[in-house]
Structure 1
């Protein structure tokens, strides 16, 4: 390591600047969504079995709720525009706009060139957790998803029930396509119920036992027509490891809730991003 320069302390003392000030970010009308949610009735339900995944569809203007069942369990969530799978959840931009972890009032944003809200979190029974003494918090958009490639890289394993593989199988079944066609559509996730952070000394991504308990839930409003996939992580509550056939694992429930349409009479789905797409090049290059 190089010797620190004489002005090292002064350099470290420079205050940070928020990369994306959000004062001008369009805000969700949570009061409207709460009124609609109060009228919503279950219209569909699926279960993500332990160490496996399930897909579900949610029409724009409806809600979906992910619920812990049986015991502490985390889940990996993917979302797509049900009518255009090239528009998918963008965890990196969601993280940049809202922070490393999300909760009530935060939105899940879609990939370029669309960049619009796909879903808004309207209720979170774990919002009391906050940030703990280790720097851990719940529902992160910093982890990618447990996958067989990293497992083989680090441990030489051939493990097939990690979240990446679970999501790939579930999506292939939903679309009736081969696995190799579904896999490129699987993307970085919202780690539902997972408690994570970065170590203070080395800056490494860590996980710890999730505070989730049976009955806890995370509820979203679908801003556009959605195809979703949820994997019940093979790490269970992720208190020890995240690709395991020995961790205690439990199912996760996904319920679609349909509100009274009259409660959303003033709501409109968000438009795609209005950037002109020229990227500084000749206008004729745009479709």
Structure 2
């Protein structure tokens, strides 16, 4: 990536950023073992967003692989999966953790990816009515032959990364998943790093909280 800028997503935190069509971004796990909940919304209409269920129907796969695209609720490509320098485990089955989930785990008020989504989008002046199912990068959940799910802590090593390209202008939200009560993150929540690049120096609109 040339003319790149870097944004650190703090442990259990969130960042939202605009990615224009043709622009790429990379998500790096600097310490290893950390899951990121990735959301994407069409910049022209945030009522259209990346849909894991529509993507599964389009690509006939449970889990993403490089070269494939992610599709929106209107069945349009929104992101293309360009590179995967990780063990290749990325979940598209599990909902974002939320307040109700942590109540069931005995920790009401715990930070969550659902709350992070609303926080990140509010910085951009976007207020969604629902929480889409994210693409859970680096998250390792596999179905068994009888349909049961096996949850395994993320197996990424320090410096592992994935890269995506925007198929349309979009607003991307990345939550460094705060889950520490289920076997998702390995060793507790840690930061993630987003690198924006691809040609022209990326700038975010004034409504964004962070400008590269």
TM value normalised by structure 2: 0.84
Q: Return the match for 2:160 from 203, 216, 221.
A: 216
CA contact (8 A) 1:58 1:226 kept: yes
Change (3 A) 1:125 1:142: same
The match for 1:104 is 66
Residue 56 of structure 1: how far off its partner (Å): 1.1
Residue 194 of structure 1: how far off its partner (Å): 0.6
Whole-Å separation in 2 of the counterparts to 1:43 and 1:163: 26
Residues 138-161 of structure 1 show CA distances to partners (whole Å, capped at 9, x for unaligned) of: 111111111112332x34541341
Residue 247 of structure 1: how far off its partner (Å): 5.0
SS of equivalent to 1:255? strand
Q: Which runs of no fewer than 5 residues in structure 2 stay unpaired?
A: 201-212
TM value normalised by structure 1: 0.63
Q: Which has the larger radius of gyration?
A: 1
Residues 38-74 of structure 1 show CA distances to partners (whole Å, capped at 9, x for unaligned) of: xx31433222111111111111111011111123211
Q: Return the match for 1:90 from 51, 63, 88.
A: 51
Whole-Å separation in 1 of the counterparts to 2:66 and 2:182: 25
1:140 paired with 2:91, answer yes
The alignment of Structure 1 onto Structure 2 pairs a total of residues equal to 199
Residue 224 of structure 1: how far off its partner (Å): 0.8
CA contact (8 A) 2:41 2:171 kept: yes
Bigger share in strand? 2
Q: Which runs of no fewer than 5 residues in structure 1 stay unpaired?
A: 1-39, 131-137, 261-287
1:116 paired with 2:76, answer yes
Bigger share in helix? 1
SS of equivalent to 1:120? strand
1:252-271 residue pairs with structure 2 within 5 A? Answer: 252-259=192-199
Whole-Å separation in 1 of the counterparts to 2:7 and 2:188: 21
Whole-Å separation in 2 of the counterparts to 1:65 and 1:75: 12
Residue 100 of structure 1: how far off its partner (Å): 1.2
SS of equivalent to 1:61? coil
